[in-house]
Amino acid sequence: MSRIVIQGGRKLEGELTIQGAKNSVLPILAATILHPGRSVLLGCPRLSDVEASIRILRHLGCQADWEDEALVVDASTLDRWDIPDHLMREMRSSVIFLGAILARMGWAELSHPGGCELGPRPIDLHLTALRQLGADLRDEGGFLRCTAQHMEGREITLSLPSVGATENAMLAACGAEGETVLLNAAREPEIADLQSFLRGMGCQVRGAGSSTICIQGRRPTHDVVHTIMPDRIAAATYLAAAAASGGQVALRRISHRHLSTVTAALHAAGCQITGGEGQLILRSEGRLRSIGTVRTAPYPGFPTDAQAILMAALLRSQGATVFVENIFENRYRHVDELCRMGADISVADRVAVVTGVTELYGAEVRCTDLRGGAALLVAGLAAQGTTGIGDVFHILRGYEDPVRDLRSLGADIRMA
């Protein structure tokens, strides 16, 4: 089933516990292979991207199984170093396995993850960092053959703070001899969660969350139990939904600090937000006002992943809001779909201007990508009438069960 139907116009009321973070669990699943033993992950969201990672782990020879609420990976039986093309294509972040396979096995073979719905997604920064550690990487027509029998730690400066390149370099550096210092590293909280997982296995990593990360090459020494951090973008989605529809929602298991740019924007738009570490309450009349220019930026700036979601919340605001997308080239594909619902949005290159309309109307729309799909949920909940959303497999890559969660807040929503 690949369609969600929403009867819009209801206020949202209630409490919700936020799922574990997709962008944290994916690199951590790659990291499990560094240790020839068991990793137990708690709070791991059941997402299609997680299932894709499990298929890669099993292909590599690991055991990866759900045991009640825990995802347990045993990488002691790992005996392969290749990832076939069909598994690489299932999700873009499969490339993070490269650094981990090299660190554990000394060689790796996998295909290029290629582009995606957000436009070209180059991996040049990943490859440059691994080469600097001493890996020999050959790109043969989109197929990567890599050997790294002896990697040596050194100072590596990323030319831009790429999240994936930072994670790949951290994992490879665990298998290098001596110290690696990563400069201009991405500062996203999910990287700090990866560090905390690696430390749990006995790796020596410090500095994650800042732009300098130091890794002392060292084989992991023990089994680990780790709880995945809460998903700040899922939290932003449910806040935006309540902001747009009106009502009052309390989110549990969130980090207020990680959401500060999103909550500041919603506050500026007229929502009341209270709470502290661990929980957050948002109250909204449903009718918001426009806000100052929203510019996406690496953390701690406004997250590109929340751009479409905030845009959807502001469709019925008073006045006009300007968005500037600085991270991905092709991140306004949801705009045409939102316009089918009556939104007034004009796009020129990386700038989008949202002029608030009095009402949105239900329509048949299609998800263009994961967060664009989440934006359609937010808009559908605030619209008059029935919205049918197609291609919801995009949404299920990042949201465990949005229908269950939004229903628990009183939304009229179902899979069809």
User: Does residue 18 contact residue 251 with C-beta atoms inside 8 Å?
Assistant: yes
* Piece of the chain touching ligand UD1 by CB under 6 A; list 29-37, 160-168, 176-184, 316-324: 160-168
Q: Which is nearer to ligand UD1, 163 or 282 (CB)?
A: 163
- Amino acid identity at 403: V
**Nearest-10 Cα torsion for 49, 53, 56, 57:** -160
Residue list 225-284, contact with ligand UD1 (CB under 6 A): none
**Strands 364-366 and 294-295, how do they pair?**
unpaired
Contact with ligand UD1 (CB under 6 A) among 20, 113, 134, 164: 164
**Nearest-10 Cα torsion for 271, 277, 278, 284:** -10
Token digits of residue 16? 């919700």
Q: Which is nearer to ligand UD1, 128 or 318 (CB)?
A: 128
Closest CB 323 distance from ligand UD1, rounded Å: 15
Active-site position among 44, 62, 116, 367: 116
Measured CA to CA, the distance from residue 100 to residue 216 in angstroms comes to 15
Contact with ligand UD1 (CB under 6 A) among 121, 218, 226, 397: 121
Give yes or no for residue 124 binding ligand UD1 (CB under 6 A). Answer: yes
Q: Which is nearer to ligand UD1, 339 or 351 (CB)?
A: 351
Determine the 3-state secondary structure of 178 from DSSP. coil
Q: Which is nearer to ligand UD1, 50 or 271 (CB)?
A: 50
Closest CB 309 distance from ligand UD1, rounded Å: 12
- Rounded alpha-carbon distances, angstroms, from residue 377 to 3, 5, 58, 286, 355: 11, 9, 34, 15, 19
Contact string (CB under 6 A) for ligand UD1, positions 2-31, x = contact: ---------------------x--x-----
* Piece of the chain touching ligand UD1 by CB under 6 A; list 1-9, 115-123, 223-231, 242-250: 115-123
User: Does residue 361 contact residue 385 with C-beta atoms inside 8 Å?
Assistant: yes
Residue list 86-105, contact with ligand UD1 (CB under 6 A): 93
Give yes or no for residue 328 binding ligand UD1 (CB under 6 A). Answer: yes
- 271 is a catalytic site residue: no
HSE on the CB side for 300, CA within 13 Å? 12
User: Does residue 327 contact residue 164 with C-beta atoms inside 8 Å?
Assistant: no
Contact with ligand UD1 (CB under 6 A) among 78, 100, 125, 280: 125
Q: Which is nearer to ligand UD1, 123 or 403 (CB)?
A: 123
Measured CA to CA, the distance from residue 89 to residue 295 in angstroms comes to 30
Contacts of residue 35, defined as CB under 8 A and 6 or more positions apart, other chains included, come to 75, 201, 202, 219, 220, 222, 223, 224
Q: Residue 209: left (phi > 0), alpha (psi -120 to 50), or beta?
A: left
Residue with nearest beta carbon to ligand UD1: 164
Contact with ligand UD1 (CB under 6 A) among 305, 325, 369, 405: 305
User: Does residue 371 contact residue 305 with C-beta atoms inside 8 Å?
Assistant: yes
Contacts of residue 122, defined as CB under 8 A and 6 or more positions apart, other chains included, come to none
* Piece of the chain touching ligand UD1 by CB under 6 A; list 54-62, 156-164, 250-258, 339-347: 156-164
Contacts of residue 164, defined as CB under 8 A and 6 or more positions apart, other chains included, come to 93, 95, 96, 123, 126
Contact with ligand UD1 (CB under 6 A) among 304, 317, 368, 387: 304
Contact string (CB under 6 A) for ligand UD1, positions 174-203, x = contact: ------------x-----------------
Interacting residues toward ligand UD1 by CB under 6 A: 23, 26, 93, 121-126, 160, 162-165, 186, 304-305, 327-328
Catalytic residues: 116
